[in-house]
């Protein structure tokens, strides 16, 4: 059986990515809402358990079978565990700092993804995109509020979304890499399996029995996670990681509105300044690169 090749449909990929980002904000808002009643570990379990259940049912109904078999099971397990670590760091941050602040700092992820796409996947990332990556990191530093800028002690909680960003960048790169190895349905199916198993084993440390309504909310977290990451897999199967990653900056708009409306958390000057700088870096990174001369393309075997 021949290996599936990533599709080259950047417009479709961008649309899928943007839809996934809106769903991510919905999931994050629900996460933050429930941190007052549940331990983060139990919420992370719900996110992966119900996500895996949703994916299994959906694929079974749509495809009629479950494409379990992966050509790279070790990468599928690693990808799932990276997402688990990312979710735990991000959720722990949501319990301590505003949604918009957590999202802004987490925007280091697209920047790291662009860098890894160039270094690991060999995707073309020109000087302008590298400049956007560096400018974006300056914005992340402002959003983190380091002591040398603010004169105040560093709030360690702001390092949690930074750790989440690094883990999610690795997840994104593996998503793109697996697009050339496995059927997208296989990757979607494996997204929550390893994480669900590991977090299930850890529940005796944090379990609090939910009420009927709380069960529904926990299930909603998982369903939103399944749908958003399913769309993400489809997006990365259609467009390069270095193009899709900077689109994640639109998530800050929805996160700011959700934090303001649901929790009354208006972003402060540091968050807004950092987000503005990050957005400028993202614009630099997402703009199409200049086409290469025909002679250069010939030396590269015609490009892609």
pLDDT in tens, 54-109: 989 988 888 888 888 999 999 999 999 999 999 999 999 999 999 988 888 887 77
| The pair of three-digit structure tokens given for residue 176, joined into one six-digit string | 């793109």
The answer to whether the CB of 245 falls within 8 A of the CB of 17 is no
Please indicate, yes or no, if residue 4 is contained in any of the structural domains. Answer: no
pLDDT class of 299 with cuts at 50, 70, 90: very low
Please indicate, yes or no, if residue 169 is contained in any of the structural domains. Answer: yes
Please indicate, yes or no, if residue 25 is contained in any of the structural domains. Answer: no
pLDDT tops 80 at residue 263: yes
pLDDT tops 60 at residue 293: no
Please indicate, yes or no, if residue 55 is contained in any of the structural domains. Answer: yes
Q: Domain span at residue 207?
A: 34-289
From 238, 120, 234, select the one nearest 173 (Cα to Cα).
Answer: 120
The answer to whether the CB of 154 falls within 8 A of the CB of 147 is yes
Please indicate, yes or no, if residue 92 is contained in any of the structural domains. Answer: yes
Q: What is the pLDDT of residues 1-49, one digit of tens each?
A: 455 555 678 888 889 998 999 999 999 999 999 999 999 999 999 999 9
By the 10 Å C-beta count (0-12 exposed, 13-18 middle, 19+ buried), 11 is classed as exposed
pTM of the entire structure?
A: 0.79
Into how many domains does the chain fold? 1
Please indicate, yes or no, if residue 72 is contained in any of the structural domains. Answer: yes
Please indicate, yes or no, if residue 22 is contained in any of the structural domains. Answer: no
Residue partners of 269: CB distance under 8 A and separation at least 6? none
Given this model, what pLDDT does residue 16 score?
92
Q: 195-199, 244-248, 255-259, 292-296: which has the highest mean pLDDT?
A: 195-199
Residue partners of 34: CB distance under 8 A and separation at least 6? 43, 214, 217, 218, 221
Please indicate, yes or no, if residue 303 is contained in any of the structural domains. Answer: no
Give 266 or 167, the one with higher predicted confidence.
167
Q: 17-21, 117-121, 236-240: which has the highest mean pLDDT?
A: 17-21
């Amino acid at each position: 059986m021949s290996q599936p090749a990533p599709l080259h449909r950047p417009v479709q990929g961008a649309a899928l990515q943007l839809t996934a980002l809106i769903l991510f904000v919905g999931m994050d808002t629900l996460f933050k809402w429930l941190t007052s009643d549940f331990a983060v570990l139990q919420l992370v379990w719900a996110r992966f358990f119900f996500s895996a259940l949703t994916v299994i049912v959906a694929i079974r109904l749509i495809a009629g079978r479950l494409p379990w078999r992966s050509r790279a099971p070790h990468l599928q397990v690693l990808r799932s565990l990276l997402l688990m670590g990312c979710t735990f760091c991000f959720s722990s941050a949501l319990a301590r700092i505003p949604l918009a602040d957590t999202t802004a700092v987490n925007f280091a992820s697209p920047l790291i993804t662009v860098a890894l796409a160039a270094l690991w996947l060999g995707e073309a990332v020109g000087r302008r995109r590298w400049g956007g990556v560096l400018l974006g990191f300056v914005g992340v530093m402002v959003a983190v509020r380091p002591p040398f800028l603010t004169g105040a002690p560093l709030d360690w909680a702001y390092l949690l979304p930074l750790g989440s960003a690094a883990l999610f960048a690795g997840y994104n790169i593996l998503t793109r890499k697996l697009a050339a190895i496995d059927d997208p349905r296989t990757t979607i199916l494996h997204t929550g399996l390893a994480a669900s198993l590991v977090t299930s084993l850890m529940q005796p440390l944090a379990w609090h029995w939910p009420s009927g309504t709380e069960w529904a909310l926990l299930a909603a977290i998982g369903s939103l996670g399944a749908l958003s990451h399913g769309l993400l897999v489809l997006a990365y199967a259609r467009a390069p990681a270095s193009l899709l990653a900077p689109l994640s900056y639109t998530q800050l708009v929805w996160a700011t509105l959700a934090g303001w409306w649901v929790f009354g958390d208006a972003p402060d000057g540091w968050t807004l300044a950092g987000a503005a700088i990050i957005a400028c870096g993202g614009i630099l990174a997402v703009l199409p690169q200049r086409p290469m001369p025909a002679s250069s393309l010939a030396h590269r075997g015609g490009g892609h």
